[in-house]
Amino acid sequence: MGERERALLEGIRSRAKRSAALRVAIGDDAAVLALRSGEQVVVTTDFSLEDVHFRRAWHPPEAVGHKCLARGLSDIAAMGARPVAAFLSLAVPKELTRAPKGKPIWPAGKGQPSWIDRFYAGLLALADSCQVPLAGGDLAESPGGAEARAAADIVVVGSIAPRRALLRSGARAGNLLYVTGSLGGAAAELRALTQFPDSFRNVTTFSTDHPHFFPQPRLAVGRALVARRLATAAIDISDGLSVDLEHLCQESGLRAEVDAAQLPLHATATIEDALHGGDDYELLFTAPAGTHMPRTLAGVPVHRIGRMLRRHTTQPQMVLLHDGLRGPLLSAGWEHF
Amino acid sequence: MGERERALLEGIRSRAKRSAALRVAIGDDAAVLALRSGEQVVVTTDFSLEDVHFRRAWHPPEAVGHKCLARGLSDIAAMGARPVAAFLSLAVPKELTRAPKGKPIWPAGKGQPSWIDRFYAGLLALADSCQVPLAGGDLAESPGGAEARAAADIVVVGSIAPRRALLRSGARAGNLLYVTGSLGGAAAELRALTQFPDSFRNVTTFSTDHPHFFPQPRLAVGRALVARRLATAAIDISDGLSVDLEHLCQESGLRAEVDAAQLPLHATATIEDALHGGDDYELLFTAPAGTHMPRTLAGVPVHRIGRMLRRHTTQPQMVLLHDGLRGPLLSAGWEHF
């Protein structure tokens, strides 16, 4: 291990919070976690790649770190699980470990913080607020010289009681379709970012005013859905409502009908943003028609936006009701390839 | 999800084996694993980066896939744990998802297999032989056009009974130091590879004759050490004996003495290869001097190579006995930065 890597790891180790569940953390071959008796393990991994998921010129490093962890926590929320620990594999170009003027600053506070220091600050702030310890990971230098790009893989391990996880496959014909919070705000903010990137340089701390930079994983909502047995299926809206609803339809073997008038649009969003924008990290879930659904869960508004129906050979998998018309809703969000 | 990503995921899904512990696998927001009653969760993550850990021109994709998983399994082995499931986050340049002549071939067998197809073949062959299901992960296109590089992050989740994990910090003064298998073979083969890369093009299937391309994680040895309560501490030799022994010394607060004459050199290796070569993926462990240590564990030879001593201000952290001389042993293996 080089001096630089050792200093980085010591810095992370000293800043990462411990928890009762974390029996062995950073500094061994692997971490050891103790779950509550009888609970099962929930695991998710998500890549955050420079120039795919974020741009160094556009996104403050704090926001990159926040969203990196938020993506993993959102998957845990969609299962209705409790997060236990996070692991980060991070590859960064060497220059991102140095202060902007070339002076290495980790772990002490000399000069300006480096990109990686600010990335960890954003990630650990969210970890702290969600009480999820950073329990390990990997750290490497990205290859490629001046062309090198940062790549972060976040792993979140959670736990849940047996047979209680909210799956994509649990929806039944006749179930109503719900969504949390509001839709399209992240897409609208991304549009503004592409037009006026300089206006967003100082978006470095969490604020609900910045849904693209600082999405909030709906952990408390997911756990409330499980605890109160309110939902039959759930998925998080990371790729866009149309894409993620299609996943729900496919895994449940159903079709869906969405009422555009019921979509909870973010104040800045269009219907297109809400349907196809992606990055909202709200929960999309289903419940039997007879369920008394509260108007808020864990303080977050819940809106009914449609229903699930039996598949039909002459009907499209997803239908949008809009201005009194019925039309096929095509999935048109984020494409990984 | 694009057609290409869907086809890739379906291909992986159809080829990934299931297991009783795997309750929810590829196709949901997260995987759900059931451990044996009362067991704790062990988690490790390891990056395999193109041009850092492997080169496309040198390493057959099957070997890259094998070693990617072997690195994670080796960490689980070093804890003495049982692997339960693996997760792979993979970013690849678009061209690696296509057949060499540009025709997409996954999932069917038309034309030549793509790089990614051969990568998965190597990874899944090891997963099958170790009975570890590939339970999820992430898949993305690497950015950078012609400069794009592949990056794989392997996550292995294992389980172990409470307080039985073999930690780096468990060694005690007076413990003897042991190593499994032989050392330096991977470094010697890497040297041959740099000199005659064309000779290794067909090294596409597992063989113990190719320690650099197809290292064997010592899972059965690790579990035997735990089951028979033979070891006080363990680490896998991934960065080189000198580097990993230094970790063991630091975490245990001890110093170590290694006898060069006792090192089990691979037939092709020099002492330098054995001390600093890295990539051997053997286990380095400690045991009380009074322990009756078998000569083999799970069929793998075990050699005593030195001992652990109390720290001393005038003594180096590691000492090498060689040809009747005592000299400081400096860590000089793999540096991540």
Distant-in-sequence, close-in-space partners of A94: CB < 8 Å, separation ≥ 6: A141, A148, B337
pLDDT of residue A218: 98
**DSSP assignment of A197-231, as one string?**
GGGGTT--S--TT-TTTS----HHHHHHHHHTT--
Length of chain A: 337
Closest by Cβ to B43, choosing from A87, A94, A140 = A87
Distant-in-sequence, close-in-space partners of A191: CB < 8 Å, separation ≥ 6: A273
Q: Residue B103: what are its φ and ψ, rounded to 5°?
A: -90, 125
Q: Which residue of A has its CA nearest to B251?
A: A27
Q: How near does any CA of chain B get to the CA of A273, in Å?
A: 17
**Residue A2 confidence (pLDDT) above 70:** no
CB interface of A with B, residues 167-196, below 8 Å: 167-169
**Residue A75 confidence (pLDDT) above 50:** yes
Mean pLDDT for A291-316 is 97
CB-CB under 8 Å, A79 with B29? yes
Q: Which residue of B has its CA nearest to A74?
A: B29
Residue whose entry in the numeric block shows the structure tokens 């702030």 = A125
Question: Measured between beta carbons, which residues in chain B are less than 8 angstroms from residue A236?
Answer: 29
Q: What is the pLDDT of residues A78-122, one digit of tens each?
A: 999 999 999 999 999 998 988 776 555 444 455 688 999 999 999
How many A×B Cβ pairs under 8 Å? 240
Q: What is the pLDDT of residues A197-253, one digit of tens each?
A: 999 989 999 999 999 999 999 999 999 999 999 999 999 999 999 999 999 999 999
Rounded Cα distance between B102 and B76, Å, is 38
CB A117 within 8 A of CB A63: no
Q: Which residues pair with B319 in a beta bridge?
A: B257, B328
Closest by Cβ to B143, choosing from A49, A75, A88 = A49
CB interface of B with A, residues 25-54, below 8 Å: 27-35, 37-38, 40-47, 49-52
Q: Which residue of A has its CA nearest to B74?
A: A29
Rounded Cα distance between B100 and B111, Å, is 9
* A151 CB within 8 Å of a chain B CB: yes
* Cβ count near B2 (within 10 Å): 12
* A94 CB within 8 Å of a chain B CB: yes
Mean pLDDT for B265-269 is 96
Residue in A3, A5, A23, A32 to test binding to B, most B beta-carbons within 10 Å: A32
CB interface of A with B, residues 219-238, below 8 Å: 234-236
Lowest mean pLDDT among A120-134, A241-255, B137-151, B227-241: B137-151
**Residue B2 confidence (pLDDT) above 80:** no
Helix (H) or strand (E) holding A286: strand A283-287
Question: Measured between beta carbons, which residues in chain A are less than 8 angstroms from residue B30?
Answer: 42-44, 75-76, 78-79, 81, 156, 158, 165
Q: Which of the four pLDDT bands, split at 50, 70 and 90, describes residue A1? A: very low
Question: Measured between beta carbons, which residues in chain A are less than 8 angstroms from residue B336?
Answer: 1-2, 5, 139-141
**Residue B336 confidence (pLDDT) above 80:** no
CB-CB under 8 Å, B2 with A89? no
This complex has an ipTM of 0.90
Q: Residue B76: what are its φ and ψ, rounded to 5°?
A: -65, -40
Q: How near does any CA of chain A get to the CA of B325, in Å?
A: 27
pLDDT of residue A78: 97
Q: What is the pLDDT of residues A239-286, one digit of tens each?
A: 999 999 999 999 999 999 999 999 999 999 999 999 999 899 999 999
* Cβ count near A326 (within 10 Å): 12
CB-CB under 8 Å, A52 with B136? no
CB-CB under 8 Å, A155 with B43? yes
* B57 CB within 8 Å of a chain A CB: no
pLDDT top residue among A231 and A331: A231
* A298 CB within 8 Å of a chain B CB: no
Determine the residue type at B283: L
pLDDT of residue B29: 86
Closest by Cβ to A35, choosing from B41, B88, B160 = B41
- Angle at which helix A219-227 crosses helix A61-79, to 10 degrees, equals 10
Determine the residue type at A47: F
pLDDT top residue among A55 and A3: A55
Distant-in-sequence, close-in-space partners of A227: CB < 8 Å, separation ≥ 6: none
**Residue B108 confidence (pLDDT) above 80:** no
CB-CB under 8 Å, A30 with B97? no
Look up the pTM and report it: 0.92
Q: In what order do the strands lie in the sheet with A151-160?
A: A134-141, A82-92, A151-160, A40-49, B31-33, B22-24
Q: How near does any CA of chain B get to the CA of A240, in Å?
A: 11
**Residue B124 confidence (pLDDT) above 60:** yes
Does residue B276 sit in helix, strand or coil? helix
Q: Which residue of A has its CA nearest to B161?
A: A34
Residue in B12, B32, B167 to test binding to A, most A beta-carbons within 10 Å: B32
